[in-house]
Amino acid sequence: MAYNTSMNFVCSLCGKKAPVSTRAAMCECGGLWKLDFQPPPFDPDLIDRREWSLFRYRAFLPLGEPEEPEGATHRERVMSGEHASASIYPAWRAVSLGEGMTPIVRLDEDLLLKMDYFMPTLSFKDRGAAVLVAHCRAIGVDSVIQDSSGNAGNSIAAYSARAGIKCEILVPEGTSPAKIAMIRSHGAQVTIVPGSRDHCADVCRAKVAREGVYYASHVYNPFFYEGTKTYIYEAWEQLGRIPAHLFVPLGNGTLFLGMVKALEELLAAGIIARMPEVIAVQSERCAPIARAYEDGAPSPARVTPLPTLAEGIAIGVPARGEEILGYIYKYNMKVILAPEERIPEARAALAGRGIYCEHTSAATYAAYLALREKQGRIYDSLIPMCGAGLKSDH
Ligand X SMILES: Cc1ncc(COP(=O)(O)O)c(C=O)c1O
Residues in region 29-58 near Zn ion by CB under 5 A: 29, 31
Q: Is 313 in the site for ligand X (CB under 6 A)?
A: yes
Q: By rule CB under 6 A, what string of x and - marks binding of each residue 261-300 to ligand X? A: ----------------------------------------
14 binds, among ligand X, Zn ion, none (CB under 5 to 8 A by kind): Zn ion
Q: What are phi and psi of 288, to 5 degrees?
A: -65, -30
Classify residue 231 by its DSSP letter. H
* Single-letter amino acid, residue 187: G
Least Cβ distance, residue 368 to Zn ion (angstroms)? 39
Does residue 312 interact with ligand X by CB under 6 A? yes
255 binds ligand X (CB under 6 A): yes
The answer to whether 358 contacts ligand X (rule: CB under 6 A) is: yes
141, amino acid identity:
V
24 binds Zn ion (CB under 5 A): no
- Residues touching ligand X: how many (CB under 6 A)? 20
Secondary structure letter of residue 357 according to DSSP: B
Shortest distance, position 227 Cβ to ligand X, whole Å:
12
CB 48 within 8 A of CB 56: yes
Say how many Å lie between the first and final Cα of the chain, rounded.
45
Structural contact between residues 318 and 257, judged by C-beta atoms closer than 8 angstroms: no
Q: Choosing among ligand X, Zn ion, none, which partner's interface includes residue 152 (Cβ < 5 to 8 Å by kind)? A: ligand X
The DSSP bridge partners found for residue 190 are: 169
Choose between 312 and 321: whose C-beta lies nearer to Zn ion.
Answer: 321
| DSSP codes, 233-287 | HHHHHHHSS--SEEEEE-SS-HHHHHHHHHHHHHHHTTSSSSPPEEEEEEETTB-
- CB–CB of 85/91 below 8 Å? no
Question: Which of ligand X, Zn ion, none does 249 bind, CB closer than 5 to 8 A by kind?
Answer: ligand X
C-beta of 160: minimal distance to ligand X in Å?
17
Q: How far is the CB of 216 from ligand X (least distance, A)?
A: 14
Question: If binding is defined by CB under 5 A, does position 10 make contact with Zn ion?
Answer: no
387: contact with ligand X by CB under 6 A:
yes
Q: Using an 8 Å Cβ cutoff, are 327 and 296 in contact?
A: no
Q: Cβ(129)–Cβ(224) under 8 Å?
A: yes
Find the binder of ligand X among 53, 196, 361, 381 (CB under 6 A).
Answer: 361
Contact 20, 189 (CB under 8 A): no
Specify the 3-state DSSP secondary structure of 371: helix
The reply on whether position 172 binds ligand X by CB under 6 A is no
122 binds, among Zn ion, ligand X, none (CB under 5 to 8 A by kind): none
Stretch that binds ligand X, among 19-27, 45-53, 308-316, 371-379 (CB under 6 A): 308-316
Q: Least separation, in Å, of the C-beta of 358 and ligand X?
A: 5
* Candidate segments 14-22, 67-75, 181-189, 313-321, binder of Zn ion by CB under 5 A: 14-22
- Torsions phi, psi of 72, nearest 5? -60, 140
Minimal distance in Å, beta carbon 13 to Zn ion?
5
Q: What does the per-residue mask of binding to ligand X show for 130-159, with x meaning CB under 6 A?
A: -------------------x-xx-------
- Name the segment binding ligand X (CB under 6 A); options: 49-57, 136-144, 298-306, 307-315: 307-315
Among residues 235, 245, 247, the alpha carbon closest in space to that of 271 is found at 235
3-state helix, strand, coil in the chain (%, to 5): 40, 15, 40
- CA separation for the pair 114, 173 (Å, rounded): 30
Instruction: Report CA Rg, the chain.
Output: 20
> Applying CB under 6 A, which part among 84-92, 181-189, 253-261, 340-348 lies near ligand X?
253-261
Spatial CB neighbours of 105, under 8 Å, sequence gap ≥ 6:
112, 113, 115, 355
Q: Under the rule (CB under 6 A), what is the footprint of ligand X?
A: 123, 149, 151-152, 249-256, 312-313, 315, 358, 360-361, 386-387
Q: Under the rule (CB under 5 A), what is the footprint of Zn ion?
A: 11, 13-14, 16, 27, 29, 31
